[in-house]
Amino acid sequence: MAGTALRGRLTWQIAMVDTVTDETARVRTIVLDVPQWPGHRAGQHLDVRLTAEDGYRAERSYSIASAPGEPVAITVERLDDGEVSPYLTQELRAGDELELRGPIGGYFVWEPEDDGPLMLVAGGSGIVPLRAMLRHRQRSGSAIPARLLYSSRTLPDVIYQSELSRYADGVEVTCTLTRQQPPGWTGRAGRVDAKLLSEVCWPAAVSPLAYVCGPTSFVEAAAAGLVGLGYPPHRVKTERFGATGGR
Amino acid sequence: MSPVSRGFRRRRLPDAEPGRVPPGQYVTGDFPVLSAGPTPRTALQNWTFSITGGGEPRSWTWEQFRALPAESVTADIHCVTRWSKLDTRWEGVSIDTLLDQVEHHAGFALAHSDGGYTTNLPLQDVTGGRAWVAFGYDGEPLEPEHGGPARLLVPHLYFWKSAKWVRSLELLDADEPGFWETYGYHMYGDPWLEQRYAGD
């Protein structure tokens, strides 16, 4: 578990919103112009700080949605009882300023040099850091074969829908819809369980490297399922977000 | 000078009495889970807790460990991802009780967990009644996703220092970064000083 040391001090800096794009009714991608950005790796996150007129401040962490070398982007899901996410998904406009610092984290990252086929398992907005990995794979010209298993409630909840449908060339995308499937749906139905994992994921024999991101219960089930398929625990990297209004 | 975010305002009522919650934290009623890998499941008959790096290594089986005097602890906990949870109720064995059985002159400790996780702590932060190996939460056995069968409980530091699935304490003369500390998180992690990342 040796890591790449990241020892520099993380200072707050002011970024400017370049574009905002709605991904779904509740999810928005915000592309930022960050003059002092030191660069990031696929899978890392950053901290955002908002200041209200009365001086009240709130900070939250968000996964970086863009590949290394692309402009910094975050994709934010609105939580109705949240404080920061409604602002980011409804109020924020191009030209607005925002404080941030990062990148943060060095374990849940993927590099083309990492060995083994790539197995990505996402639940809901857990797709965000995995999307950065897929884009990084594409942009770096990596030939590492990749599979993505992505669970959403309904088709309109699928984030990056058109982008994910365009992947070819060594990337296999499987979507499952847990709550409702539209007529003619050719993807999977139901939650990610042992059976679905065994049908969709790389067999353990090819030594895959897995990244699982989503809500806690999703990650618990998916990570345990991969271990059940024979994935060594150290080859299953997880990132979870709790069921709180925090993010 | 921080730019003011037009239209951004406090939506949450103040979470607790002033001074109860460290800066940058919000109070949650849930118990979120954060960990870097799958949840390890070690059967109790295979579980031991060890202290190494002192004079003679010392190890306890689950039965021996549970036969040690336990304490009830009520504490506020603070996660670096910004949630705090108030008045959490734990049951555990004080690290003082464990270290009483070991000869040592160490200044630091590195906790080791199932799954390879590690975290570093100054010894003075895990002694003096400030740290436990906890096996109970809210009157029940500690659940695996929250670190069961036993986790470190060091409530005065950010909660990543309270290593889940803890299996040993390695006593050291010099401070050594653990898992998250290697990835840029703060070596000490005082929530009241917002020591989230290296350099904070």
pTM beyond cutoff 0.80: yes
Q: How many residue pairs from chains A and B have C-beta atoms closer than 8 A?
A: 148
Q: Which residue has the tokens 């003096």?
A: B128
Question: Which tokens belong to B124?
Answer: 């003075």
Q: Please tell me the total number of residues recorded for chain B in this structure.
A: 200
C-alpha A118/C-alpha A208 separation (Å) is 6
Composition of chain B by helix, strand, coil, percent to 5: 15, 30, 55
- Please determine, for residue A7, whether its predicted confidence score (pLDDT) is greater than 80: no
Q: B33 or A53, which is more confident?
A: A53
Q: What is the pLDDT at residue A242?
A: 53
* Residue spans of alpha helices (H) in B36-172: 62-66, 95-99
* Residue spans of alpha helices (H) in A34-126: 85-86
Helix (H) or strand (E) holding B180: helix B179-182
Q: What is the pLDDT at residue A245?
A: 33
Whether B184 sits inside 8 A of A53 (CB atoms) is: no
Please identify among residues 58-117 of chain A the ones whose CB lies closer than 8 Å to any CB of chain B: 58-61, 82-83, 86-87, 91-92, 96-99, 104-108
Q: What is the pLDDT at residue B16?
A: 77
Q: What is the pLDDT at residue A165?
A: 95
Q: Which residues from chain B sit within 8 angstroms of residue A44, using beta carbons? A: none
The mean per-residue pLDDT over the stretch A51-69 comes to: 94
- Label the pairing between strands A171-177 and A146-152: parallel
CA distance A180 to chain B (A): 27
- Label the pairing between strands A118-123 and A209-215: parallel
The structural domains of chain B, with segments of one domain joined by +, span: 26-30+44-193
Q: What is the pLDDT at residue B10?
A: 87
Q: What is the pLDDT at residue A8?
A: 65
- Nearest chain B residue to A212 by CA: give it: B37
The mean per-residue pLDDT over the stretch A179-189 comes to: 96
Query: Is A115:A207 a contact under the CB 8 Å cutoff?
Result: yes
Question: Which tokens belong to B199?
Answer: 């350099």
Phi, psi of A47 (to 5 degrees): -105, 135
Q: Which residues from chain A sit within 8 angstroms of residue B10, using beta carbons? A: 52, 54, 56, 58, 83
CATH 2.40.30.10 domain position(s) in chain A = 13-104
Fold of B26-30+44-193: Sulfite Oxidase; Chain A, domain 2 (3.90.420)
Q: What is the pLDDT at residue A246?
A: 34
Does A163 reach chain B within 8 Å, measured CB to CB?
no
Does B14 reach chain A within 8 Å, measured CB to CB?
no
The CA–CA distances, whole Å, from B40 to A168, A233, B65, B166 equal 35, 8, 20, 11
Query: Is B77:B159 a contact under the CB 8 Å cutoff?
Result: yes
**pLDDT tens, position by position, for chain B (200 residues)?**
789 998 898 887 767 787 899 999 989 887 777 789 999 999 999 999 999 998 889 999 999 999 999 999 999 999 999 999 999 999 999 999 999 999 999 999 999 999 999 999 999 999 999 999 999 999 999 999 999 999 999 999 999 999 999 999 999 999 999 999 999 999 999 999 999 999 99
pLDDT in tens, A75-86: 999 988 888 999
C-alpha B119/C-alpha A1 separation (Å) is 12
- Asked if omega into A38 is within 30° of 0 (cis), the reply is no
The mean per-residue pLDDT over the stretch A184-195 comes to: 97
Name the CATH architecture for the domain at A13-104: Beta Barrel (2.40)
Q: What is the pLDDT at residue B1?
A: 76
Average pLDDT score over chain A: 93
**ipTM greater than 0.85:** yes
CATH 3.40.50.80 domain position(s) in chain A = 118-241
Tell me the residue type at B11. Answer: R
- Label the pairing between strands B83-94 and B71-78: antiparallel
Does B140 reach chain A within 8 Å, measured CB to CB?
no
Q: What is the pLDDT at residue A37?
A: 96
Q: What is the pLDDT at residue B199?
A: 92
C-alpha A126/C-alpha A213 separation (Å) is 5
The CA–CA distances, whole Å, from A88 to A102, B12, B15, B59 equal 18, 16, 22, 51
Whether B4 sits inside 8 A of A52 (CB atoms) is: yes
- The CATH class given to the A118-241 domain equals alpha beta
What percentage of chain A exceeds 70 in pLDDT? 94
Q: What is the pLDDT at residue B173?
A: 97
